[in-house]
């Protein structure tokens, strides 16, 4: 996960000399356009006339059959194994997928960002403690950590009934959020280390400003570009990770995410390619868009040191 972020940022290239701007612009403009259209559709899915409801079934002569329509005028992207409209489901899936992805990113960014800032600013033993936490989180392969977290939460919920309200969706969001903590903390810490020695921070400190104030007023605002960049790239990775969890049987059942949709239909590729292909396409284009935008932002804000 870290390296994926690192890789994106690494493409910053330090190449102000001879940029091939056209292609890059195409990339991030496409990404933004796709995300805007998708978000609008997802937000207003209930209102937009061309999107069927989540549970709408398209029947033939009053009978629902699995995959009864291929892509076409009736159902743009065909129907799934319960005769639901794949297009509509992809849109509702976008809503669910984005909620999970954004939720997880917020968790990761808040906790990881906070840890990173504190470690980077105070250094010393605080830094060491945070580093150990981060190292521990990173020592476990991410997927392994996710599996453990979800499985254990399920069982803990059984024992501690007070946690019964926690839904599978929230469990997955939190789990993905935890996965994001360590990489975010690392990057933010590195950024903070750099900022800490900058003139304006030193000036504020020498004027006797309290640490808290320095962090909130001076450091935080300057961290925003890096955080946004990392968040955008991370979002793409988290969405892909959610799909992987769905494959391992730990997906979100309802409303379906793209991951759950792909997993439900992937074995019927030869019968109904559309039911797998289109959610794959949505997932792919979205992850790609986040990568494009992340790449663009990384170049723009010149955040490379964050990677290593």
Closer of 147 and 174 to other proteins (Cβ): 147
Taking CB under 8 A as the criterion, the residue among 107, 119, 223, 240 binding other proteins is 240
CB atoms within 10 A of CB 164: 9
Binding mask 24-63 for other proteins (x = CB under 8 A): ---x---------------------xxxxx-xxxxxxxxx
What's the DSSP call for residue 219?
A: I
236 lies in the binding site for other proteins (CB under 8 A):
yes
Token pair listed for 123: 């250094």
- Helix axes 21-43 and 86-122, enclosed angle (nearest 10): 110
- Contacts with other proteins in 151-190 (CB under 8 A)? 151-152, 154-161, 164, 168
**Shortest approach of other proteins to residue 246 CB, angstroms?**
7
Taking CB under 8 A as the criterion, the residue among 82, 198, 211, 213 binding other proteins is 82
Q: How far apart are the first and last CA of the chain?
A: 13
Tell me the β-bridge partners of 79: 85
Token pair listed for 7: 């890789």
**Shortest approach of other proteins to residue 269 CB, angstroms?**
5
| Closest by CA position to 87, among listed 38, 129, 130 | 38
198 lies in the binding site for other proteins (CB under 8 A):
no
What's the DSSP call for residue 214?
A: I
264/257 Cα distance (integer angstroms)? 11
- Contacts with other proteins in 93-152 (CB under 8 A)? 132, 135-136, 138-144, 147-148, 151-152
Closer of 220 and 288 to other proteins (Cβ): 288
């Amino acid at each position: 996960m870290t390296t994926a972020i690192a890789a994106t940022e690494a493409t910053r290239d330090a190449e102000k000399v001879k940029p091939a701007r056209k292609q890059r612009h195409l990339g991030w403009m496409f990404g933004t356009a796709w995300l805007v259209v998708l978000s609008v559709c997802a937000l207003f899915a209930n209102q937009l006339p061309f999107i069927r409801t989540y549970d709408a079934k398209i029947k033939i002569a009053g009978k629902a059959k699995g995959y009864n329509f291929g892509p076409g005028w009736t159902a743009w992207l065909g129907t799934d194994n319960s005769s639901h409209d794949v297009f509509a489901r992809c849109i509702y899936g976008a809503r669910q997928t984005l909620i999970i992805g954004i939720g997880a990113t917020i968790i990761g960014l808040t906790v990881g960002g906070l840890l990173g800032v504190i470690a980077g600013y105070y250094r010393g033993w605080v830094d060491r403690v945070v580093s150990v936490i981060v190292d521990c989180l990173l020592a476990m392969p991410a997927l392994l950590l996710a599996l453990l977290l979800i499985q254990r939460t399920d069982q803990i919920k059984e024992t501690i009934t007070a946690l019964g309200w926690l839904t599978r969706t929230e469990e997955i969001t939190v789990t993905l959020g935890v996965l994001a903590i360590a990489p975010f903390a690392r990057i933010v810490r590195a950024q903070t280390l750099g900022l800490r020695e900058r003139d304006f921070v030193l000036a504020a400190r020498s004027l006797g400003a309290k640490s808290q104030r320095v962090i909130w007023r001076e450091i935080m605002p300057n961290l925003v570009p890096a955080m946004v960049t990392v968040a955008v790239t991370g979002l793409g990775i988290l969405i892909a990770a959610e799909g992987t969890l769905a494959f391992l049987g730990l997906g979100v059942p309802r409303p379906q995410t793209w991951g759950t949709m792909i997993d439900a239909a992937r074995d019927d590729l030869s019968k109904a390619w559309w039911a797998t292909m289109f959610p794959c396409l949505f997932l792919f284009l979205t992850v790609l868009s986040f990568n494009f935008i992340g790449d663009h932002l990384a170049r723009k804000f010149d955040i490379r040191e964050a990677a290593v």
